[in-house]
Chains A and B, each alone.
Chain A
């Protein structure tokens, strides 16, 4: 029986008079692949931003299991959240543009290695050792996810699909228990989307990770997701397996608009 990883209880977010997210509750289990779908403006990214600590919730609690205990995420800043096993990508790719792919990944490895002040400024053997270890760790990720060819190119010079791939690998480098992917397939053609699907599956299988993704591309969602939450106007409209959700009349009416095979 899989363990609970992330619990979201009655989370609400208000912006002045506007309620963007209304009393949303979700549970994500270890190693699950869950999708969050819904029309534009349904509150999905707002929810993501709260889950990753970039936005405080107006009310409700979010907790993640870390080192065996549940740690309250709501109300903590993004840095702290990231240090407790949550990582993410962004709707508009946010890579460290001036830095190479390798440096992007090594930056994400920051918290897993220690470097003391003197070895930093005088490049003692300790510095070289740390650098080698970080580089080895980064190289493993680069090779495993087919980034070897572009490893030393500046991130902002890469083609769009490659940038997305790098962003996901960078998020992986923080050694999280769950990764949030915000519309990873946005702007991709069918081939790129197919490759992305393969990559996400590889990601989840090889790393004992849970994945929560926001997506509009229904083919991606239906082929990847084990469970789906449907959000509409800030509320959870339905949840369940892809089959259950696609047959839920309320969902069909509000979002899928009829035949799921016609979408995507």
Chain B
């Protein structure tokens, strides 16, 4: 039981990181119907930016987090403007290939500029372990939970309570009608990319603290897993992304704990396929039936 609870804690930490990424994927997909392949690399840039600001400018954690989020928001908006907007009316596969191009560019660009070596992320927060009923929780893990929850609450508030949030939901439901109603589609899309990328940036800094190491291709696998989490939860659904991410995170931890860590990645895909088979639109998604 203790092991189970311990793994649950670890899983929730991992799941929180995945949630921050999955939320970005799901919002972006919801509004522009694109798999933002380069999202994982924005996360990587967030980690590197945090590394840079802490090492060179001696930022503390909060400042590193905020500055990383702002930096990534700008990067995200730039990517949308340069790579996705010109293809807004082209086939989805063309956009996907461009997204992959952007991803390659970021990963290899970083490798060229800063070498592909793994770096140690500076430990701005000294790790403190807490023990409750035999379960170990570190302060970093608590920080991850708290930060993630706060960001998610802010996101929910933006989406539900603000004018921009309403615009987002309208544009996601029917872009043409939204534009006819006077909503600035381009601005709304940029905003979505900004928020999603900012959360990815936050995730990058948090994972740097948690796992202590960063390298240019660190975004690929978490990116894919987070996207799987978003699909499992129902693409376009914000609560779905969070739930999906927690499921995936816990699954990964459990598999590692019971000794099947070689299969932890495969397990994620198996869950994906099973969910898609029985709930084609994911847990919280809604399938729009085709009108004849």
Interface of A with B (CB < 8 Å)?
Answer: 45, 49, 54-55, 90-91
Contact = CB atoms under 8 A, between A and B. Distances in A.
A45 B292 CA distance: 8
6 contacts: A45-B292, A49-B292, A54-B292, A55-B292, A90-B292, A91-B292
Contacts of B292: 45, 49, 54-55, 90-91
A49 B292 CA distance: 8
Nearest to A46: B292
A90 B292 CA distance: 7
B80 to A, nearest CB: 30
Nearest to A49: B292
Contacts, number: 6
B287 to A, nearest CB: 15
B290 to A, nearest CB: 9
A86 to B, nearest CB: 15
Interface residues of B, number: 1
Interchain residue pairs A-B with the least CB separation, the first 6: A49-B292, A54-B292, A90-B292, A45-B292, A91-B292, A55-B292
Contacts of A49: 292
Contacts of A90: 292
A45 B291 CA distance: 11
Interface string B208-223: 0000000000000000
Contacts of A91: 292
Contacts of A45: 292
B109 to A, nearest CB: 39
Interface in B147-195: none
B56 to A, nearest CB: 56
A91 B292 CA distance: 8
Nearest to A52: B292
Contacts of A55: 292
A65 to B, nearest CB: 25
Nearest to B291: A92
A223 B292 CA distance: 27
A14 to B, nearest CB: 15
Nearest to B290: A54
A54 B291 CA distance: 11
A111 to B, nearest CB: 22
A171 to B, nearest CB: 15
Interface string B248-292: 000000000000000000000000000000000000000000001
A54 B292 CA distance: 9
Interface in B25-64: none
A49 to B, nearest CB: 6
B291 to A, nearest CB: 9
Nearest to A54: B292
A98 to B, nearest CB: 13
A54 B289 CA distance: 12
B288 to A, nearest CB: 14
A244 to B, nearest CB: 31
Nearest to A94: B292
Contacts of A54: 292
A103 to B, nearest CB: 22
A201 B292 CA distance: 26
B137 to A, nearest CB: 46
Nearest to A88: B292
